[in-house]
A and B are shown apart, each in its own frame.
Chain A
Amino acid sequence: DSGVTQTPKHLITATGQRVTLRCSPRSGDLSVYWYQQSLDQGLQFLIQYYNGEERAKGNILERFSAQQFPDLHSELNLSSLELGDSALYFCASSEGQYGHEQFFGPGTRLTVL
């Protein structure tokens, strides 16, 4: 158990819909990272928040957004969903803002029908 929690574990929705994925980092970690992993693909970095502020951005679509709340949990919002958005979405956390050692949650499997 990494100490990072993600909900829900599974999500099935239709094209055009909007969903919110939630992540709680390990106790004491200030950074939260979001990754997308498509079938048989590597991990694609989406975005990082550190202590409530956006710190780094990767290959995140404009239809996607995220935020980190004062209690340090984070939400990833995916809107106008397309079939190609079906993937595993992982949250990771690290203590500092330059997280060499990131600890991953169990992921949310999103299926868009």
Chain B
Amino acid sequence: GQQLNQSPQSMFIQEGEDVSMNCTSSSIFNTWLWYKQDPGEGPVLLIALYKAGELTSNGRLTAQFGITRKDSFLNISASIPSDVGIYFCAVQGAQKLVFGQGTRLTINP
């Protein structure tokens, strides 16, 4: 089945540091999405990417849709405590979203 490889699985950083995570697939996808899930809450859509090579920002977050359409990365600049959570990449598969396993971000103040 369709599978996404998301890395790293977890990150432990200091407040103020920049963060980078990525997601790869063996298949081509035309839509890449990034979600964030806070503890005990549902995922929240951060950024949606629809065009290969597209670079999109949302505040301190920047995401890029890889030119091969097989990968995407998400960067967070100048991390703050509320950035803590699990970040999921997702792709539009056949009639459903397929999610990566998530990157758990922990921030030390």
- A residues contacting B by CB (< 8 A) are 2, 4, 33, 41-43, 45, 48, 55-56, 58, 90, 92, 98-107, 109
Given contacts A42-B101, A100-B92, contact A4 B45 (CB under 8 A): no
Minimal beta-carbon separation of A4 from chain B (angstroms): 7
Contacts of B100 in A (CB 8 A): 42
Contact partner of A4 (CB less than 8 A), chosen from B42, B50, B101, is B42
Task: Let me know if B48 is at the binding interface, CB within 8 A.
Answer: yes
The proximity string for B residues 26-38 relative to A, scoring 1 for CB distances below 8 Å and 0 otherwise, is 0000010101000
Contacts of B99 in A (CB 8 A): 42-43
Contact assessment for B101 and A45 in the assembled complex, using a CB-CB cutoff below 8 Å: no
- Interface of A: prevailing SS: loop
Contact assessment for A100 and B42 in the assembled complex, using a CB-CB cutoff below 8 Å: no
**Interface positions of B from 73 to 98, Cβ below 8 Å from A:** 88, 92, 94-98
Total A-B residue contacts, Cβ distance less than 8 Å: 53
Contact assessment for A104 and B31 in the assembled complex, using a CB-CB cutoff below 8 Å: no
Contact assessment for B101 and A105 in the assembled complex, using a CB-CB cutoff below 8 Å: no
What are 6 A-B contacts defined by CB distance under 8 Å? A33-B97, A43-B88, A99-B97, A100-B48, A101-B45, A102-B97
Contact partner of A105 (CB less than 8 A), chosen from B42, B92, B97, B102, is B42
A103→B97 CA distance, assembly (Å): 12
Contacts of A33 in B (CB 8 A): 96-97
Contact assessment for B33 and A43 in the assembled complex, using a CB-CB cutoff below 8 Å: no
Given contacts A42-B102, A101-B33, contact A107 B42 (CB under 8 A): yes
Nearest neighbor of A97 in chain B, beta-carbon distance? B95
Contact assessment for B43 and A104 in the assembled complex, using a CB-CB cutoff below 8 Å: yes
Since A33-B96, A43-B97, A98-B92 are in contact, a sample of 17 more A-B pairs with Cβ atoms closer than 8 Å, ordered by chain A residue number, is A2-B44, A33-B97, A43-B88, A43-B99, A45-B96, A45-B97, A90-B43, A98-B95, A100-B48, A100-B92, A101-B33, A104-B35, A104-B42, A105-B42, A106-B41, A107-B41, A109-B40
Contact assessment for B45 and A103 in the assembled complex, using a CB-CB cutoff below 8 Å: yes
A31→B57 CA distance, assembly (Å): 27
